[in-house]
Amino acid sequence: MDLPDALREFRALMAETGELVEREAPGVDVDAFRRSMEETLAVWDRLPAGSIPAEPRTPTGRQ
């Protein structure tokens, strides 16, 4: 699976999660959750091809 496919799948899962939270956890700000996820995904959408590291890095940037 390439990154665009993975992002589409992740978006679909986040939509399902938002719907589930809306049903099962009244009072939770689902719109804020959705906005947060979309803002995060928008960053990934703007990354130039090849800029994603091949191996995951720790929060400090070390492998």
Closest CA to 21 of 6, 37, 34: 34
Tokens standing for residue 1:
């699976």
For residue 22, give the amino acid letter. Answer: E
Average pLDDT, the chain: 78
61 pLDDT above the threshold of 70: no
Domain coverage including residue 39: 3-46
Within a domain: 23:
yes
In a domain, 32, yes or no: yes
What local confidence, expressed as pLDDT, does residue 47 receive? 72
Per-residue pLDDT of 26-55, as tens digits, reads 888 888 888 888 888 888 777 776 666 555
The answer to the question of residue 62 being in a domain is no
- DSSP result, 16-60: HHHHHHHHHSTTS-HHHHHHHHHHHHHHHHHSPTT-S-SS---TT
pLDDT level of residue 56 (50, 70, 90 thresholds): low
Is 22 inside any structural domain? yes
Q: Is residue 51 part of a domain?
A: no
